Every structure is written in C-alpha cells, then in structure tokens.
Amino acid sequence: MQNTGYDAPPVSPARPSATLVVVRDAPGGPEALMLRRAERGDRASGAWVFPGGLLEDRDSEWHGLCAGIDDSAASGQLGVQSRGLDYHVAAIRECFEEAGLLLAYDARGEMVSTAGELGAALQAWRMPVHRGERTLGELCRTFGLRLAADRLAYHTRWVTPGVRPKRWDARFFFVQAPPAQISAHDGVEIVEHLWLRPGEALARGDAMKMLTPTRTTLETMSRFGSVAELFDHLHAPRRVALKVPRVGTGRHGMQPLGPADAPWAEIGMLDPMGHGTSSYEIVPGRAVRLSLRIIRVTAPNPSVMTGPGTNSYLVGATDGSAWAVIDPGPDDETHVDRLLACAPGPIRWILATHTHIDHSPGAARLKSKTGAQVLGQLARHPANQDQGFAPDRELQGGERLEIGSETTLRAIHTPGHASNHLCFLLEQEKTLFTGDHLMQGSTVVINPPDGDMGAYLRSLRELMEMDLHWLTPGHGFVMDSPRERIAALIEHRLKREAKVEEAVRTLGPAEAAALVPRAYDDTPAHLHGWALRSLTAHLHKLRDDGRVRAVEGRWSIA
C-alpha cells in the first residue's frame, strides 16, 4: 500500500537539537512557556514554540558542571552511545538565551534566583552567551553554579520528515519553572512569550501558528491536572518512541501532520517514506487507491453529520475482473456515474452496511446501470431509513462473498447504530469496512428504537477479538490500531453512561431532555438535539440493566 514509480528526492541530514518545555502549576491546570519566533522567511517564522535549538560542539565541555546526572546515564536515557548529556546542556543554554530562565544551582544547592544583584549580573551574560562571545561554562565557573541537568525529564524524540530541506533530530524535555525567576524573551529570535494552559493554546487554532511537535506535545500535556501528575508520568518506566511528522499535500500546499491529525494513519499507509505524495483532504469525487483491491470515492454530501461526505468503496479482484461497491451513498447521479468511471472492471455486487439515507439510496440507481446484485439487511424499524432499499438477498453475519480467487469479503452483523448494520472484512488485508459502526473523530449517534446502546457495545467487544490491521470508515480517512481505537470507544461510551446515570441520580425524576445539559456538558449546545438521541439509548440500556426506571416519561434511579 504505497506509491511507487518515482525517484525519491535526496534527504538532507537531521541536525541534533534539544527542546525544553518549561511548565508551572496554575489555576485550572499546568501551563507551559510559549515563545513566538521572529519572522525569518522559513517554516518556523512566526511560529509559537518552546525554548530550544541546535547542539553546539562545546556543549560536551560542560558535562562536569552538570548536577545529578552524568553522560553515561543521560546517554542511556536517550538511547545513544555517548554525549547524551549534550542535549541537556543545549536545552538549558537555549532556555537561558531565548527565555531568560537559568536552570542552575548555586553553591548551597538551591535553584538560582535572577532577582537582585546576582540576577542582574547573570542577565548581563545572556546576550554574550547568545552571540557566542561567552560560554555557559564560563558563566557557571564565574558565579560558582552547576547546571540543573537532573531537573530535566526526557519526553520524546522528533525527526523532521525527509522531504524537508532543513531537518532536525530533536529531543524534547520537560522541566518545572524555577520559582524565583521571571521569563523574558530575547527580542531577537523570540519576539513574544506567553504562559498558557495547553487547552488555551490549542483552542486558538490557526491564530496561533504551531508546528506539529509543539501541538502534539501540548495535546499530551493536556491529559494531566498538575505538574506533579505530568512528572509522575515522565519518570515512570515507558518506551520513548521516535516520532516523525508525516507530510501530505492539499489546498494549502505541503503540510506536516501529527498522530492527532485525521489523515495520519492513511498517509503513513500510502506514503511510508514521507515524500508528500498523499492528500490530507478528502475531496468528493476523487478516487483514492488504498490498495491493490480497494478504491475509495467520496460522495458530495458533506455535513455536520457526514463529515467530508459518505465514503463508497470499490473492492475488486486482484486481476480487476470483478468489483463490489460497499455503500453506494445517497441517490446522486453524479456520484453513481463517478463510481462507474472509477471501477477498473464490471461492478457485480452492491453492498449496504445499513440503510440510513446517506449510505444506501444510491443502490437502486447503480443497479439500474450495472445489473449488479444488491445485498444487505432490512431494518427492524423503518423510520428514518431508506424506504426504497430492496436487497436481492439479505446477508447474514458470517457469510462470505468471493469477489475473486484472492479477494474475500465476510459480512459481520454489528447492530447498535442500526439494527441491520453490517461491517465487511476484507480477509486478505485484514481491513474492516466499518460503515457507521466506527467513525473517525466522533462517536456515532445511537437513535432508538432502531439504535440500541447495549447491542452497540456488544458488537464493539466482538470486533475487539478480531485480528484487524485497518479500519475504513463510512466517513473519514483510514484508521490504524483497531484494537486500541475500539477499546477507547468502549471506554468513552461507558464514561458517558456513568454521566447519564449521575444526571438521573442528581436531577431525577426528570425527562430525558432535562438530563442532556448535565450528561453532555462537554458537547456544544447546538448538538444537544443529536445528543438527546444517544442519551435516550443510554437510558434504555441502564433500564435494561436494572439501574434506572421510567414512570410516565420521567427517569429516576431504580
């Protein structure tokens, strides 16, 4: 599953560098020191970053001035043979130069203060060190200081993709802000600084330009309620993975992407060498070859509920002699004609994951043009369904469809979002076409009576036991790590169930609509109408479990 047929561009070497995330406790959670770079005409111009920069040859000369950790221990932490302590020294040096914070101990072993006469003397060294006229080692020897290298907690490693002309191999560390110092940007490389909680910084969106490693680091930091919790995580035994931002192309040109970005898995699958040949956008009508057997074409029906549109998948024999369409989408002639144009061979089967109006109505039009057999299930409750869906045969869970000698689809009955919902497993690639059972970036609406929360969770747990490599959803990009994603979805649903039960306990007896603002307090108010449907499904499950009851439409604890 990769693009071939072109010569890879030359890759420039990645230069070693260190980044230091300075954090402190604040009301509402820990906050980080953010610096805005000056405009210099490169990708990082104007970007908000953490203090950091390149290692220098002389950084290794100051190992003897580092407190609490030697080069052997530092190298072991970073997984290098030697000079691991250079990264600590560089991080401390860059933080002093760019932010005015000096991570060093005085003769008494206490963190140095930059207040008073000593502080003024130390700050007088800042620009000379910055310009290379003096060294960090000279500063320490002059004032009898030792670098607080033992305060740095190693977090992760990022390497710039090979497609970039300038590349860095950056080690990221966290450190708690020295209590008796005040940050100040240098006014040269850094033109502004702010202390921000991760959520505040991320909420600013495009107004606060950030590169992928910065944004991903903030997303990680946002999981912790205090600096102590964060450092407990950093000091716990864990594997520090190498992270390389992936690069995609689209309307805004070539862009880096991190693990939290929706196209991450798909671009890694299609462009594993990072040449920037895959798109970070889903464009209706564009055919995307996902593998030898799979082509995705997205319908032109984007909305708040369908995302970029409904994905139709062409699944074919390896020799191209026969094809099936999974979810022909809405009754849209342009989309149906596009499916016909993109199919490398005859379409013989039309499969519907379920009969909601964005997934199956195109089946009748596509059948009229191909004579293909329509397969799927009828819903138990016809309301809000495709009333015109007429399968030639109703598929049962476990049935296999041979598209070719090396292409087999297996139907898996996954009720929950809809009573007739089917997922389809492409056995040779361990790829699951999930319809709306698993969506990217959001949870699906469970709308009783056809939607059933208990059945939905049972279906998810059954999928957890399967050997899967990829999830191809009805809306969005290909997703990786199926087991982890399904486990996280189950956990999310159970947490929501607990909030619903707590709302009933606090507000009941109450009608379902009165419970929504409390149980879905993290959901925008304009979506509360949709949330009411899933909340009702949670209430029905809790009722079936004997935990709540309803009397004349008012819910209370059983």
Q: How confident is the model over 283-321, as pLDDT tens digits?
A: 999 999 999 999 999 999 999 889 999 999 999 999 999
Share of the chain above pLDDT 90, in %: 81
Tokens representing 419 are 């009573």
- The total of structural domains in the chain comes to 3
Cβ neighbors of 354 (< 8 A, separation 6 or more) are 360, 376, 377, 379, 417, 418, 420, 421, 422, 435, 436
pLDDT digits (tens, 9 = 90+) for 187-206: 888 999 999 999 999 999 88
292 shares a domain with 144 = no
**What pLDDT shows up at residue 8?**
47
Nearest in space to 278 (alpha carbons), one of 477, 419, 443, 411:
477
311 shares a domain with 355 = yes
Taking the complete model, does pTM exceed 0.75, yes or no?
Answer: no
Q: Which of 419, 450, 480 is the last residue of a domain?
A: 480
* In a domain? residue 351: yes
Asked whether 69 and 85 are in contact (CB, 8 A), the reply is yes
311 shares a domain with 188 = no
* In a domain? residue 366: yes
304 shares a domain with 207 = no
pLDDT digits (tens, 9 = 90+) for 2-30: 333 334 455 678 899 999 999 999 998 99
Tell me, what DSSP letter sits at residue 443? P
Torsional sign, CA 549, 551, 556, 557: negative
Share of the chain above pLDDT 70, in %: 97
* In a domain? residue 251: no
Among 260-274, 325-339, 387-401, the range scoring the smallest mean pLDDT is: 260-274
User: Across all residues in the chain, what is the average pLDDT?
Assistant: 92
Exactly one of 261, 358, 436, 452 is catalytic; name it. 358
Q: What is the mean pLDDT of residues 474-502?
A: 96
502 shares a domain with 455 = no
Cβ neighbors of 75 (< 8 A, separation 6 or more) are 81, 82, 83, 84, 85
* In a domain? residue 396: yes
**What pLDDT shows up at residue 9?**
53
Asked whether 159 and 167 are in contact (CB, 8 A), the reply is yes
* In a domain? residue 247: no
404 shares a domain with 383 = yes
Tokens representing 318 are 């390896």
236 shares a domain with 381 = no
d(CA 128, CA 142): 14
- The CATH number linked to 293 is 3.60.15.10
How many CB atoms neighbour CB 166 within 10 A?
Answer: 11
472 shares a domain with 326 = yes
94 shares a domain with 177 = yes
Distance of alpha carbon 213 from its chain centroid, rounded? 12
49 shares a domain with 25 = yes
* In a domain? residue 303: yes
Q: Is 522 a catalytic residue?
A: no
- The CATH number linked to 70 is 3.90.79.10
d(CA 118, CA 111): 13
Beta strands 153-159; 242-243: pairing state = parallel
Q: Which of 428, 456, 480 is the last residue of a domain?
A: 480
Higher-confidence residue of 411 and 441: namely 411
Domain that holds residue 537: 492-557
Tokens representing 547 are 């935990």
Tokens representing 402 are 């041979």
The secondary structure of the chain in percent helix, strand, coil, rounded to multiples of 5, reads 30, 25, 45
Beta strands 311-316; 347-351: pairing state = unpaired
- The CATH number linked to 540 is 1.10.10
Q: Which of 435, 460, 480 is the last residue of a domain?
A: 480
* In a domain? residue 263: no
Higher-confidence residue of 522 and 88: namely 88
Calculate the dihedral angle through the C-alpha atoms of 134, 69, 74, 122, rounding to the nearest 10 degrees. -20
307 shares a domain with 233 = no
| pLDDT of 42 above 50 | yes
Higher-confidence residue of 212 and 196: namely 196
**What pLDDT shows up at residue 6?**
38
How many CB atoms neighbour CB 477 within 10 A?
Answer: 29
Structural Rg of the chain based on CA atoms: 28
* In a domain? residue 95: yes
Whether the upstream peptide bond of residue 517 has omega within 30° of 0, thus cis, is no
525 shares a domain with 441 = no
d(CA 106, CA 103): 10
